[in-house]
Chains A and B, each alone.
Chain A
Amino acid sequence: MVTRRTLRGAVTRLLSAACALLLAGCEFDETVISQTAPTLVIHAVLNPDQAQQVVLVEETLTGRVRIDTTLTYDPSDPIRSGGGIPVSGATVTISRTDAAGTVVGSATGVEDVVLGASGARGTGLYRVSSTIFVPGGIYTLRVTAADGRVVTGRTRIPGPITREGSTVVADTLDRLRDTLRLAWTPVPGARTNTIRVDTPRGPWFLFNDSTSFALSGSLKNFFAEGLPNVFVPGHRQSLSVVAVDTAFFDYYRSGNDPFSGSGLINKLEGGIGLFGAALPLLTRLVSVTQSPSSPLDAEWTSGTDTLTLWLESPGPTISSVSGRFRGRGPAGSGIATGALGTLRGDDLRVVVQPEFTSDTLGVFVGRVFADSIVGAWSPPPVGALPRIAGPRTYRRGGAPRAP
């Protein structure tokens, strides 16, 4: 099912575009307004496949703190680098209860700390390590902030899995030709399932109640700006089917209306956010390829380096390019990772990224000729692939290989 959030996301994007068009150049007044009282915001999803449960504790943006929007997202400090205000020094307790509500086990979270300019500081990310997290278990969350504010929530992890049986038809997908067919076995206690594909341009996900699903290779990501393709040739993409509880489903299917600020389904007491549960049923890596359809679609080799390129999506003036870089890494070991780029006329720009992140390892800028690409890896950023820095001439090889 496409959820309300999906619908809202798409419609809101169009609505926002329409509003933006109407509003272009029409801003006429900026007024300082009063700060409001902050509310605690919790993001926690119990996942019994994981040794540690992660609880994010932050507060709503109320104008009390100026958010540094220049920070790059850092998984070790996800709240601050992700535009939020971490709440440090909170006590996070997750308890397992029986059906009658009697506590049968508890675990307390430990906050991650990072070193900042003024010393160590809390990140608002609390890790809870315990063996109490099992499929089918019922859990309560209690977060007590240092100033005494308390947030509580309750969830039930779906499961247990009674019968193994998830399948995905292929590990390689030719996105022009193939459809990926998934099947899994339902688990008790699940409200629904999420089907998720990680893409270089952000995740695509969908809720689905059934036990099978088909994903066309031409799928577009309506969660991302510009509606890019979900499957990108040259990349190995993570695919998962996860059973989730009602709290997870409600939180992600709803969202606040941009005009009225209401609509989000919140099941926490004393705060806003999510305390839910997820049980992975199927996870796979899918290698995406595409039958050659343009002169660019080939293996391009320079010494030990190979750029496998596809014209990912043709555009009227600028086309997007994707592919894979294979070569030697900083320590001399082999590297194979995805690449994204653009082609404007014959001018090619390729960015090499480590798998499953948006970091940059190297940028190649060059020009495409009939049988060669001449350019340079420039400028090599800090931590980039030092061995491929500098000018290169890539020669056309055979048809592109699957990642």
Chain B
Amino acid sequence: MLGAALLVQQPADTTGVLRGRILDAASGNGVPRATIAVVGALTGTFSDAEGRFVVPRVPAGRWVVRGRLLGYSTDETTVTIRPGDTVTVTFRIRREAAQLQAVRTTAEAPEREAFLRKPDAGTVTVRGDVLKRLPVIGEPDVLRVVQLLPGVVAPNDFTAGYNVRGGESDQNLVLLDGYPIYNPFHLGGLFGTFIDETVADFELTPGGFPARYGTRLSSVLSVAPKSEERGGIHGAASMSVLASSLSLGGTTNRGRTSWNVAGRRTYADKFVAALSDNTLPYYFTDVQAHLRHRLPGRATLSFTGYWGADVLDASLATFGDSTQAGGGRLLFDWGNAVAGAAYEQPFGAVAGTDSAKAMQRVSWTRFGTTLDVGSGSLSFKNRVTETRAWGELTGWRGRHEMLAGYEWSAYTVDYNVRAAQAGGGDIFGLRQRPSSIAGYVDDIFRPSSQLLIRTGLRAETVTGTGWSGLSPRASVKWLPNVRTAFTLAGGLVSQWMVALRNENAPVRVFDFWLAADDFIPVARARQAMAGVERWLDDARFVRLEGYYKYYDRLPASNLFNDPDLRGDEFIVTTGRSWGFDLLARQLESRKLSGWIAYSFAISTRDGPQGRFYPVHDRRHNLNVVGSYKPGGKWQYGVRLGLGTGVPFTDIAGQIVRRTYNPVTNTWENASGGPDREPLGGPRNAARFPLFQRLDLSATRTGTKWGIAWSPFISVINAYNARNVFTYVFDYADNPPTRSAFSQFPLLPTFGVSLSW
């Protein structure tokens, strides 16, 4: 792959990219159709409907950049463009005629921009390059970084899954460029699916979503893909102990078309096969592509595709020196696929608005998993596809930003259990074909420079459920000054795609989704939150936010379901989660950057057998995440995690299950010895001890042959803390014993990444 990367290497580029936004200084709204000129370089562009612009291939050098629009003041600044670099600027222009006073402006962090202009609560944005600054487990991983954000709990080291503010792990909406992706994991949840080189940034909203977001109860994780703006072909490659990846991107068509493709594959299977007689018949792979094309009339058309798969396919005999080689083939595959297209068209001032734009997206998402435990002897298969159309009209008028949209999804869900060699057809088969449609409106109103009010309403219905509902959303932000804000938010959310999952299982090997129907209720949750945020300067802020969530009609897996009875797969529970999150963050503009996130949370569930704590109910969770770049070639990363133990069910004894032989009228043991099963005590009434982990990393960056080389080393669990993953009980011994098994031990990893 690296070879391929080097083959396509281009002569060093002598241009850079200028990007930014031009804003109305009074309202803070983007100014569309403004002219951006790089004075003397004979290049420039126009801003889009949100005031954003990109000027590709700006010759390296120092330039004066000017932003202007008739009827507004002109703003200009001076920038230095370095080859291959991207410089971001923000202009503020006023509705004043012929005031040519120049104002020097600087780029504004998205977090700061959101603080001043968005009334949303709790949202955290992380740039893609932060992934490389932090210690990694094999590969930089979006989901591993999400786990470090406030309000987020990872039950153990072996999962890249996460629980947000007391919600279940299937309640997180994950969007890749706005398109849903169902199970963004590899290897039983150990790794995430996103290739770090493709990630521009990601944003986690842990509650209080605006009306445009539905279908999940707890959070929205929106991953934005990188869009290459430079001419020529640029790229990045990385090799780690886990996988290698290659990402390429560039622009064509005079910069109007931007493209990025990336791929990743693990290679442990190849190594093992090359270096020994053994086999490791497992690998995972990801491929991602993003294309963006600017059409005449300032419209844009973009396409995003993702495909990922985990494959374990082998004869059972290859797993060891088996004397029972007859087990046939074991097949486990797991994969996500997403294909989506988006069209955006700014209209300018139409229909009484100051400016307006339209967005239309269509997408197709699939998650599928198959587990065949032996040449078809018993196989489980789950396929979920969602075909979605999502459109929005946005208009800016005066102090309002108004939005109306719809979302239509058609789902296909197939779940089959089949024993092809016994009886032939499906032993259990479920086929669901629901569709949902939602319409929503949303308005951000800025009555004064100190107040932001967002109101929204989402109307939804799902076929086959007899359910339809209204989900109001509201948030208010009061800024007594430009550094302080108080936020209140609340609303109703709904979810009709649920994962039938054993939350007690510490790892995830088979995870399948079902849609709400006559038997599975549409889950609902009410959320309320209040917060305060204080910016200490332009790059540092502290945020404290409290929340309360009530879950109504929350489906939970029914351990006692009757296989003959359709509809008892889930039991309906209710639940509550409340707590607060504290975030102190220093943005990446300084030598030292990172955050301290502390979360306090209490979650309970009420089911037919009483109240219990869900397995992710970690009461105290602290993450200190830092990156230090002293100015030379070295960069250091650190993560310290501390958390009180999550609940587990203490085992109070064991029972030996015996099998009756009706032919011989005798009782037998299971094959392989006594079938000893644990007898649980009160559900999740015990807790694991304190979790603690220190991760460290160092990266050195240098340039050779026009390529930036960045070898890195990471050490996970640097002082080898013994964090309990699970206990194994032995009541067949006297005295009885409990053995503790640890999560990640001290785990060094290394690799190198290249970019050009």
Contacts and interface: CB of A to CB of B under 8 A. Distances in A.
Interface stretch (B121-129, B229-237, B464-472, B646-654): B646-654
Interface string B313-355: 0011110011111111010100000000000000000000000
A70 to B, nearest CB: 11
A156 B86 CA distance: 79
A73 B672 CA distance: 11
A45 B662 contact: yes
Given A27-B741, A228-B327, A229-B326, A254 B317 contact: no
Contacts of B649: 259-262
Contacts of B481: none
B269 to A, nearest CB: 15
A19 B506 contact: yes
Contacts of B317: 313, 315-318
Interface of A: 1-4, 6-7, 10-11, 13-15, 18-19, 22-23, 26-36, 38-39, 41, 43, 45, 47, 49-50, 52, 54, 56, 58, 60-67, 69, 73, 75, 78-79, 82-84, 192, 194, 196, 198, 201-203, 206, 208-209, 213-216, 218-229, 238, 240, 242, 248, 252-265, 272-274, 278, 280, 283, 312-320, 342, 356
B559 A218 contact: no
Contacts of B8: none
Given A33-B729, A47-B665, A83-B676, A255 B653 contact: no
A13 B371 CA distance: 12
Interface string B189-230: 000000000000000000000000000000000000000000
Interface string B291-312: 0000000000000000000000
Contacts of B651: 261
A265 B655 CA distance: 13
A251 B480 CA distance: 65
B510 A225 contact: no
A11 B327 CA distance: 16
B324 A201 contact: yes
Interface in B665-679: 665-674, 676-679
Contact of A61 (B316, B656, B725): B656
B652 A222 contact: no
Contacts of A254: 559-560
B720 to A, nearest CB: 10
A224 B679 contact: no
B505 A31 contact: no
Contacts of B745: 26
23 contacts: A4-B563, A10-B371, A13-B373, A23-B726, A23-B741, A28-B741, A29-B722, A62-B736, A84-B656, A214-B423, A215-B423, A219-B421, A220-B326, A222-B377, A227-B373, A227-B374, A254-B559, A256-B677, A259-B648, A261-B649, A261-B680, A315-B315, A318-B322
Contact of B676 (A56, A61, A201): A61
Tell me which of A22, A248, A254 has the highest count of chain B C-beta atoms within 10 A of its own C-beta.
Answer: A22
Interface string B398-425: 0000000000000000000101111110
A4 B561 contact: yes
Given A47-B662, A192-B564, A318-B321, 5 more contacts: A11-B510, A19-B726, A198-B661, A213-B423, A226-B323
Contact of B674 (A14, A33, A82): A82
Interface in B574-616: none
Contacts of A259: 502, 504-506, 648-649, 726
A84 B671 contact: no
B284 to A, nearest CB: 14
A219 B422 contact: yes
B742 interface: yes
B652 A82 contact: no
